[in-house]
Structure 1
Amino acid sequence: MVSINKQFPEAFYQSIKPLLAHFGIDAPDIMISDLVLDSRDVAIHKAFIAVAGHALDGRDFIPQAVSLGAKVIVAQCDDKTRHGFVEMREQSVIIYFNQLPEKLSELAGYFYQFPANSMSVVAVTGTNGKTSTVQLISQLAHLMGERAASIGTLGAGIYSSSTDTQILDNIVNTTPDAISIQRLLAEFVAEGAFQVALEASSHALVQNRIKAVKTDIAVFTNLSRDHLDYHGSMAEYAAAKRLLLSQPELAYVVLNANDPEHKNWLANIPETSSVVLYGQNISAADMPTKYQYCVANNVRYTAEGIALSVQSSWGDCELRLSLLAEFNVANVLAAICCQLCLGKT
């Protein structure tokens, strides 16, 4: 990835007043250069967003932000009657915002000018295969000449056309926080990316981290037992994954037909979204006619990789992959489906 420009936030230098007006708040006319969730990143012109998280409550760090000279602090309030209330604490203006966790993605979207609207966005969820699928989607886009980026477990980055490589910057979570996601997308747009693939973890979906990110394609890989300490049950875990269906402007839903959970996704597909099924050892003739498909048969494993026959709604082909293991067949099929949905051939 091209190194993050230290001056990048200056491109979004703006007044907090029109920004918060979108949420019915009459805020003072104070200029800010960025939004931050960590009080250690606070500076005079960076607005500190004090929101309750899973492990820590940002509101506990308001005194630290004040001591560091933050001109603006936007603080979560649980009482809706205090929404928009403004108070001064030393030189800091504290603005109270009801339902801030639910609205944070949208707030950051307004600040960074909704960068997802300027690129194709693919969000991948599932217990296994997210990381590989995201990387394959971006690599395939890059091989077809499109500047592409990825966000996930391995980090965040954009491919360099000069070296055919991708250097990934470290990120804290598989799916970064709501502000970081919008900031990364804005950076990718500034660097000329036309497509991004990102991992959408169940935690991120429940916590609304990508709620206001326009998503062209949602991909479901598979479901097995995981994160039950957080979700409580398999039913809740599965439901958390399906929250991806609520993404704005979702055009396509790409589903692994080999996983039984895909039927629950089919039962909840938005009317405006088209479905594409992928899978292995499934006859193309058995695919429901109302859905598009991409399936692999006659899969052969060799020391050099994998060979397979692909049948799809777009045509058939023979494919050879320099990859190993059965699960990579599914990951490649998902990546192919995404590019076909985006009009690539």
Structure 2
Amino acid sequence: MDIKGHKIKGLTCDSRCVKPGFLFAALTGNKADGVDFIEDAVQKGAVAILCRVYPKKRLNVSCDIIWLFDKNPRQRFALLAAEFYQRQPAKIAAVTGTNGKTSVVNFLRQIWSFAGNNAASIGTLGIQTSNLQSSKTLNTTSKLTTPGAVYLHQKLSALDDSNFSHVAIEASSHGLDQHRLDGVKISAAALTNFTNDHLDYHKTETSYLQSKGRLFSRILDKRGTAIINSDTTHSKQFIRMAKKSVSNIMTFGTRGADICLLESRPLADSQQLTLSVFNKEVNLVLPLVGKFQAFNAICALGLALSTGTPVEKALKAMQSLKGVRGRLELVAHHPSGASVYVDFAHTPDALNNLLTALRPFVLGKLHLVFGCGGERDNKKRSEMGRIANTLADSIIVTDDNPRNENPSSIRNQIISTCPKALEIGDRAIAIRKAVGQLVQGDILVVAGKGHEEEQVIGDAVYAFSDSKVIKASVKDTLDE
């Protein structure tokens, strides 16, 4: 990529990653201003600087430096990343929504693969493909639901080089607001659902909604298709936003015009679905429990159909879908026969859906272990406590990722509306206590962290896996 006659060899917004010939984007973040690192970037060999305006403070940099000014440097940076890496897979779908993004992109990848496409997904679980070796080769650690623009475009280019034709991406509200997806050629975009979340970042529901809406009004290709959950709050607003940019709009849900969930009947470890797909009634067994999983699956179905997958193949693929790691994942059976699950539910809506989904399978008591993350929207804590107190029979409130917030204060906010909860701060002890209470007919779900293998307490990051603690606790019970 050439800029003003100079060949750019790479680009980054992290001065620590600058190499000779790089463009450095001096972006303003929550904790630091990239302008403060311009001199450091130039010393490491940056030949071009992108920022909003020329810095007010005096800089000791060469007059040969190329300066790019833009009123929206984040968006310009993403577009430059797209230009630099150039190649992208032919079909890219993006999924936004408060809950369900990870499940939908994984289900979509499975449907595409079943139909004979070389498919991948990018999101909370990293880069996943049907080929384990490809996943290992392509994947590097990214702790963001939607990776940064450079990482994202670099990986899209690598996927295209590896002959992946179909890619599904999780589109978080943070990622959309920060323009990480700008420049991605998106063929189809879906909204799973919409409830209040991340108000610590967005401040208002309106701002949160507008960030999600950017996917449909600004990023989705004008020839693409918007797939909207007709049952969720503000669905009509999302449809209006989509109509400003695209003409192809598909709706799904119990009121969906294109894919309508007519009936969901729970079975032992699956559910019988009756759907109307483009006005044709279809019956199938979905090998997943929970109505919310049915919604995730039909959202993935809509994306698959809108990107060219034949209806019959897509419906057949749905009957062999595999659950996603850390999402209503059955990790152990107690010696009594009780089932133990982990789930990523960390919002009121997700917790409500989780407990509601498990209730039909409970013959004894429904046990719950959960907490809330620190330095995140604190308004949801009391609401989650209220939901737990209503829908679960036995509750232990513990620590999630308290970060730099007082863990005891977080737990107290939850317990204020959850009087029947037992408070145990240490998450491992809380899980062991819950496992020890199980008897025949019970179900235990440990919620909030799902697939995560770390716990953040203060500035320290500790190795921690709910699944590993559960399995060890069950083993200890067997050994007693």
Q: Give the structure-1-normalised TM-score.
A: 0.80
Summarize the alignment of residues 50-199 of structure 1 with structure 2, pairs less than 5 Å apart. Answer: 50-68=26-44, 70-78=45-53, 89=61, 93-99=65-71, 100-113=73-86, 115-116=87-88, 118-160=89-131, 166-167=135-136, 168-199=139-170
Distance 1:147 1:314 in 2: 30
> How well do the aligned residues superpose, as a CA RMSD in angstroms?
2.4
**Which secondary structure state, in structure 2, belongs to the residue aligned with residue 103 of structure 1?**
helix
Q: Does the Cα contact within 8 Å between 2:18 and 2:46 map onto a contact in 1?
A: no
Secondary structure of residue in 2 paired with 1:179: helix
CA drift of 1:93 comes to: 2.3
Q: Which residue of 226, 231, 255 corresponds with 2:202?
A: 231
In the other structure, the counterpart of 1:329 is 294
Q: CA deviation at 1:234?
A: 1.2
With over 3 angstroms needed to count, the CA separation of the structure-2 counterparts of 1:140 and 1:92, relative to structure 1, is: farther
Deviations 1:15-34 (A, max 9, x none): x33xxxxxxxxx2x333332
CA contact (8 A) 1:147 1:194 kept: yes
Could you tell me how far apart the structure 2 residues matched to 1:176 and 1:341 are?
A: 25
Q: 1:271: Cα distance to partner? A: 5.5
Superposed displacement of residue 304, structure 1: 2.5
Change (3 A) 1:31 1:165: closer
Equivalent residue number for residue 263 of structure 1: 236
Q: C-alpha distance in 2, partners of 1:183/1:88?
A: 32
Alpha-carbon distance between aligned partners in 1 of 2:231 and 2:220, rounded to the nearest angstrom: 27
8 Å CA contact 2:192–2:229 kept in 1: the answer is yes
Secondary structure (helix, strand or coil) at the match of 2:121 reads strand
Deviation track 1:55-98 (CA, whole Å, cap 9, x = no partner) reads 32222112222332x1413230326xx9xxxx982597242322
Moved over 4 A (4+): 163-168
Counterpart check, 1:253 vs 2:229? no
Structure 2 residue matching 1:89: 3-state secondary structure: coil
Sort the Cα spacing of 1:135 and 1:92 in 2 relative to 1 into closer, same or farther, 3 A: farther
Give 2:276's aligned residue: 311
Q: CA deviation at 1:193?
A: 0.9
Q: Distance in 2 between matches of 1:187 and 1:132?
A: 23
The number of residues matched between the two structures is: 301
Query: Where do 1:38-57 residues align within 5 Å?
Result: 38-57=14-33
Query: Does the CA contact (< 8 Å) of 1:71 and 1:92 recur in 2?
Result: no
TM-score by length of 2: 0.58
Task: After superposition, give the CA deviation of every residue in 1:171-222 in whole Å (9 maximum; x if it has no partner).
Answer: 1311112222211111111111111111111111111111222211110111
Question: Contact 2:105–2:168 (CA<8 Å) still a contact in 1?
Answer: yes
Contact 2:188 2:220 (8 Å CA) reproduced: no
Q: Distance in 2 between matches of 1:40 and 1:271?
A: 38
CA distance in structure 2 between the aligned counterparts of 1:186 and 1:129, rounded to whole angstroms? 26
